[in-house]
Amino acid sequence: MVNVTIDGRSISVPEHTTILEAAREAGIHIPTLCYLKELNEIGACRVCVVEIDGIDQLVAACNNYVLDGMVVRTATPKVLEARKTNVEFILTQHDSQCTSCGRSGNCNLQSVANDLGVLGLPYEKHLPGLPWDLSFPLIRNNDKCINCLRCLQVCDKVQASYVWDLGNRASHTNVNVAGGAPIRESSCALCGQCITHCPTAALRERDDTDAVWQALADPEVVTIVQIAPSVRTAWGDPWGLTGDEATVERLVSALRPLGFDYIINTDFSADLTIMEEGSELLHRLSEGGDVAWPMFTSCCPGWVRFIKEHYPQLVDQVSTSKSPQQMFGAVVKSYYAEQLGVDPHKIFSVSIMPCLAKKHECALPSMRDACGDPDVDVVLTVREMDRMIRRAGVDVHALEDGAFDEPLGVGTGAGIIFGATGGVMEAALRTASYLATGSAPEEDVFADVRGLDGWKEATYDLGGTKLRVAVASGLGNAAKLCDALLAGEVAYDFVEVMACPGGCVGGGGQPIHDGMERQYELGQVLYGLDKVATYRNSYENPSIVKVYDEFFGEPLSERAEKLLHTDQHAWMMPAEQRAAVAAVETEL
């Protein structure tokens, strides 16, 4: 333990405690901008500087340890002037038009500048004004970037995607796509973690709400919106709704006034995914011969982008099942259109997701299986949806719980936990176990795959067949798992990967809370809902039973293959394209 004095308060903290942590322990607030615990402790913004007795210069609190006997002062005139001036420096390169900024009110730069009393700038502004491909689902606006470098750190250290790099030096330093490539040609998985870790609006999703407003305004168009499982964990954040208040039923009520014709539950198609993916797994297992193992889940399009970009040799092992979003899209413009007696070409299908990769996914030419139009027309992140609710002036506090439209509003607990790491695996095991043994699994018998460990493994007995499973969340963990598989260090039969740490609840399209990692808390919401769900296994879902009875026949049927499965080779990631071009050139 070391003894330090911070602002006159004596405290004792363990060795290797930073000044910032020690101050927080003592109840003293030191403002930070670039700091992100463990991920970005680089002392770059110089806002957390403090004064230490005996040293003339100021010291960054975020990445320097307290030493025994150290006397720290966190709010001397020298400190306060340096902090304010540094924020003023940052603002000279920041587009501060907060009135037209999506992060206004949820921006750490804004609050730090306000707290420090920045009322005007004594310096001229110089914005970098760099170009960006605004058609890409991920948008970077370096006029708002403060070079905190968090995006780069989360992309490298957590997501192993290495999209960003420092583009220039000196006063022209900016973060940009590594090597100056267009973002479309980069290895970006579209996980969106850079967005949720950005302290300002330098990173955001492409806003697609206008297209939805247009469709809603058109009386000829039938608007159908699906809501993903994890949306229910955080959608109420902008209004400060608690977990109990922000139910998915209340969200249904919040969306009704916007004019959606049908509001349906992606939990249903998560169950559908389980039926198809589970059957695919059992089919592979029974096939024998030289099937390559493991089979990987395919429900996360960020993961699909990642594996295609970095591990093309493993793509054949990815399940052909579409993501729940795309399964739903295909069902909506086929079976559901039939049920409703509507021309599928008149349907505008919207999907609310905690995700950016799904914006890319819905636009793929290979995702037009129902009627030739895109199966899903527009994907909105939770943030975009919240903006629509705000724009419509809906008073969410006053709403009663509503109900999804039937029959596609019914989901099971298995569908709900799709939003958390391990959830797809657990849901699949519940149904696979039933399909293999003919009897319902014991409650929570597969709960070992839950939890926030980045790489979990377990072995289960499915009616006499030993099944070795693994679950990874966060692409860095996925990369480690793939490397270990390729090196022959591990062997599995079935592997679930979710691109975002903690799964979709930690998705790049969720509401942002600067500096907070909420995956665990949000995941618990889903497991709580699963616990009390009427049905907890996908095969029990009456809507699932009905849709197979009336439309698909059985999992992996011809129609199911056409509408619910896809060819993972139908499109290419940039690395695949480069390899293909190189192959052609070699041939020539």
Partner 1 sequence: MARLHVMERSAAQAVMDDLHTAVEKRLAVSSLAPCPVEFTAAFVGMCATQSCGKCTPCRIGLGVLKELMDDVLEGRGTEKSLELIEKTARTIYLSSDCAIGYEAGEMALTAIRGFRDDFEHHINKHTCGFTQSQLVPCVSGCPSGVDIPGYISLVEAGRYTDAVRLIRKDNPLPIVCGLVCEHPCEMYCRRGMVDDPMNIRGLKRYATEHMESDYTPHHEPATGKRVAVIGGGPAGLSAAYYLALMGHSPKIFEARKHLGGMLRYGIPAYRLPRERLDEEINWLIKQGIEVELEHKVEDLASLRSEFDAVYLAIGAHSDNKLGLEGEDADGVISAVEMLRAIGDDELPDFTGERVCIVGGGNVAMDCARSAVRCGAEKVTIVYRRRVADMTAQDEEIVGAKEEGCELLELHAPLRIATEGGRVSGLVVQPQIIGGLKWGRPAPRDAQADEVTIECNRVIVAIGQVIESEPFAAQGVATNRGKIVTNPDGAIEGFDGVFSGGDCQSGPATVIRAINAGKVAAANIDHYLGFDHQITLDVELPPVQFKGKISCARCEMPFRESIERIHDFDDIEKGYTAEEALQEASRCLRCDHFGFGAFRGGRIEQW
Interface residues toward partner 1, by CB under 8 A: 15-16, 41-44, 52, 54-57, 59, 63-65, 67, 128-131, 149, 165-170, 172, 174, 176, 179-181
Of 53 and 245, nearer to partner 1 (C-beta) is: 53
User: Closest distance between partner 1 and the C-beta of residue 262, in Å?
Assistant: 46
- DSSP code for 206: P
In the complex, minimum distance from the CB of residue 42 to partner 1, in angstroms, rounded to a whole number: 4
Helices (H), 197-323: 209-217, 248-255, 266-287, 301-310
Three-class DSSP category at 34? coil
**Interior/surface letters 517-537, b for 16+ CB within 10 angstroms, e for the rest:** bbbeebbebbbebbeebebbb
SS3 content of the chain, % helix, strand, coil (to 5): 40, 15, 45
Q: Between residues 55 and 398, which has the closer beta carbon with respect to partner 1?
A: 55
Least CB distance from residue 1 to partner 1, whole Å? 14
Nearer to partner 1, 34 or 499 (CB): 34
Written as six digits, the tokens of 57 are 């210069």
The full DSSP string for 497-508 is EESSTTSGGG-T
Task: State in angstroms the smallest separation of the CB of 43 from partner 1.
Answer: 6
Spatial separation of the C-alpha atoms in residues 108 and 34, rounded to whole Å: 10
Closer CB to partner 1, residue 173 or residue 339? 173
Alpha-carbon distance of 373 to 221, in angstroms, equals 14
Rg (CA), the chain: 25
- Give me the DSSP letters along 364-406: -TTS--SSSS-SS-EEEEHHHHHHHHHHTT--GGGPPP--PPS
Please answer whether residues 145 and 463 qualify as being in contact, where contact means their C-beta atoms are separated by less than 8 angstroms: no
Q: Report the nearest approach of partner 1 to the CB of residue 569 (Å).
A: 30
Q: Minimum distance from CB of 260 to partner 1 (Å)?
A: 42
Using CA atoms of 266, 268, 271, 277 in order, give the dihedral in degrees to the nearest 10.
Answer: -60
Least CB distance to partner 1 at residue 83 (A) = 17
Comparing CB distances to partner 1, the nearer of 17 and 473 is 17
- 67 or 545: CB nearest partner 1: 67
Distance in angstroms (rounded) separating the CA atoms of residues 320 and 467: 20
Q: How far is the CB of 74 from partner 1 (least distance, A)?
A: 15
Which residue, 117 or 131, has its beta carbon nearer to partner 1? Answer: 131
Query: 3: which 2 tokens?
Result: 């003894």
Q: Which is nearer to partner 1, 162 or 213 (CB)?
A: 162
Closest approach of Cβ 334 to partner 1, in Å? 45
Tell me the longest C-alpha to C-alpha distance in the chain.
80
Return all residues near 128 (Cβ < 8 A) that are at least 6 apart: 93, 142, 143, 145, 172, 174
Nearer to partner 1 (CB atom), residue 16 or residue 466: 16
Least distance (Å) between residue 420 CB and partner 1: 32
CB of 65 to partner 1, least distance (A): 5
Closest approach of partner 1 to the CB of residue 258, in Å: 40
The amino acid occupying position 100 is S
CA distance 141 to 128: 9
CB of 495 to partner 1, least distance (A): 23
Taking the chain, what is the end-to-end CA distance rounded to the nearest angstrom? 69
Determine the Cα–Cα distance for residues 215 and 348; give it in Å rounded to an integer: 7
Ramachandran quadrant class, 372 (left: phi over 0; alpha: psi -120 to 50; beta: rest): left
What 3-state class would DSSP assign to 222?
strand
Residue 57 DSSP code? S
**Nearest approach, Cβ of 535 to partner 1 (angstroms)?**
49
Residue closer to partner 1 (CB basis): 65 or 548: 65
Residue 149 or residue 533: which is nearer to partner 1 going by CB?
149
149/263 with CB nearer partner 1: 149
Beta strands, E only, 342-487: 347-353, 378-381, 455-462, 465-473
CA neighbor of 539 nearest in space, from 379, 428, 447, 446: 428
3-state secondary structure (DSSP) of residue 92: helix
Nearer to partner 1, 19 or 526 (CB): 19
C-beta of 481: minimal distance to partner 1 in Å?
A: 18
Q: Is 577 left (phi over 0), alpha (psi -120 to 50) or beta?
A: alpha
Q: Which is nearer to partner 1, 75 or 181 (CB)?
A: 181
Q: Which is nearer to partner 1, 142 or 477 (CB)?
A: 142
